[in-house]
Amino acid sequence: MLKIPQCTFCTREAGWVRPWDKVKLCKQHFNSQFTKKVQRTINKYKLLKRNDKIVVGLSGGKDSVVLLETLKKLQRGHQTELIAVTVDEGITGYRKDGLKFAKNAAKKAEVEHVIVSFEEKIGVTLDNLLTKFDMSNTKRLGACSYCGVFRRKLLNETSRDLGADKLATGHNADDEAQTILMNVLSGNVLKTLRSLPEPQLKDNAFVPRVKPFRWTSEEEIVLYAHFNNLKYQETPCPNSLEAHRGVIRDILTNYKEKSPGVIFSILKSGDDIINLNPTQESSGILNRCINCNEPSTKLICKACEIQNQLQEI
Ligand code: SF4
């Protein structure tokens, strides 16, 4: 008969064996270690302050749903104010479902929920933008390149309009390790400085983005949702297959079989790069776009560049 292992910290049955150090955890100890790790990450990078007004980017996927729940749990100690913001990109067969989970999560956490859409703010849904490019002679980038630019813009603008001190996103340790590896593989390792847990670039128009899950793996987030009965959107975005990130994700998933802690080793390398104390210049000086006056590292921001292209086709 299969013997269920005992929790390393108590006599209860373990629900999970942590792959990178073989520590066995029951549900209760998993939950407390999960929250402690997030708190340690917040402390390590000084991500949040007492009384901060925090916008949580809430897509309805596992990362953002668990992030909202965790920040809500930690809220009592921090006395922070939370507001959830969801961006509706206009992706048929995907976003509507995500909105449903986002609304439920915000309701459960008892926080204000603001929804902003590409259609309303940019004048075009992501689906229509892609169709326009596909029907023109203009070569288009992957869907995520456009989506990411406009989503970041809307999240920043909305957070600023709401008077937020921080914008918290659900990027997890796997996402962050993939980003660092992608930067290395493309010969742009210094781009790592643009995906800090809290970016160093300062501008009043730019609400600092913080990543409390930087050291929390995707597996831990899925388990947390499972142990705590949190519902989230599981359907993948139809455009996700276009993403180059998927190739890197597969490489790391294979590598984790041999070396389960590899994502943390990559993150440590990322932190070591940051700790070399590079100048702000290496991470891009923040100016204002001459067109829309939003923060940008270039003369014209990427969002205006895409909108200009759209007008020409
Ligand atoms: Fe946007 Fe790409 Fe994510 Fe889909 S997979 S929501 S297109 S960034």
What's the mean pLDDT in 140-160?
A: 95
Tell me which residue has its CA closest to atom 6 in ligand 1.
Answer: 237
What's the mean pLDDT in 144-163?
A: 96
Tell me which residue has its CA closest to atom 7 in ligand 1.
Answer: 144
DSSP annotation of 61 reads: S
What are the Cα distances from residue 206, in Å, to 114, 163, 287, 295? Answer: 19, 11, 11, 6
pLDDT in tens, 35-48: 999 999 999 999 99
pLDDT of residue 181 exceeding 60, the answer is yes
Q: Which atom of ligand 1 is nearest to the CA of 143?
A: 7
Beta carbons of 90 and 119 less than 8 angstroms apart: yes
Q: pLDDT band for 2, please (50, 70, 90 cuts).
A: low
Start-to-end CA distance of the chain, whole Å, equals: 67
Q: pLDDT band for 9, please (50, 70, 90 cuts).
A: very high
Residue 131, C-beta contacts closer than 8 angstroms, at least 6 positions apart: none
Neighbouring CB atoms inside 10 A of 141's CB total: 12
CA of 128 to the centre of ligand 1 (A): 14
- Residue 196 confidence (pLDDT): 72
H helix or E strand, kind and range, residue 310? helix 302-312
H helix or E strand, kind and range, residue 288? strand 287-288
CA of 239 to the centre of ligand 1 (A): 6
- Residue 281 confidence (pLDDT): 46
Residue 166 CB-half CA count within 13 A: 24
pLDDT of residue 33 exceeding 70, the answer is yes
- Residue 38 confidence (pLDDT): 97
pLDDT in tens, 277-289: 655 444 556 788 9
pLDDT in tens, 78-132: 789 999 999 999 999 999 999 999 999 999 999 999 999 999 999 999 999 999 9
Q: Is 239 in the pocket of ligand 1 (CB under 6 A)?
A: yes
Q: Is 144 in the pocket of ligand 1 (CB under 6 A)?
A: yes
pLDDT of residue 202 exceeding 80, the answer is no
Question: Above pLDDT 90, what percent of the chain?
Answer: 77
> Quick one: 202 exposed, middle or buried, by C-beta within 10 A (0-12, 13-18, 19+)?
exposed
CA distance 153 to 150: 5
Task: Answer with the residue of higher pLDDT: 245 or 181.
Answer: 181
What's the mean pLDDT in 184-192?
A: 86
Pocket test for ligand 1, best of 62, 89, 131, 175 (most atoms within 8 A of CB): 89
Residue 280, C-beta contacts closer than 8 angstroms, at least 6 positions apart: 200, 201
pLDDT of residue 63 exceeding 50, the answer is yes
CA of 277 to the centre of ligand 1 (A): 32
Q: Is 148 in the pocket of ligand 1 (CB under 6 A)?
A: yes
Tell me which residue has its CA closest to atom 5 in ligand 1.
Answer: 240
Q: Is 240 in the pocket of ligand 1 (CB under 6 A)?
A: yes
pLDDT of residue 312 exceeding 80, the answer is yes
- Residue 280 confidence (pLDDT): 47
What's the mean pLDDT in 256-262?
A: 95
Q: Is 147 in the pocket of ligand 1 (CB under 6 A)?
A: yes
CA distance 291 to 305: 9
Q: Is 149 in the pocket of ligand 1 (CB under 6 A)?
A: no
CA of 148 to the centre of ligand 1 (A): 7
Specify the pairing of strand 112-117 against strand 24-25. unpaired
Q: Is 59 in the pocket of ligand 1 (CB under 6 A)?
A: no
CA of 275 to the centre of ligand 1 (A): 31
Tell me which residue has its CA closest to atom 2 in ligand 1.
Answer: 144
DSSP annotation of 280 reads: G
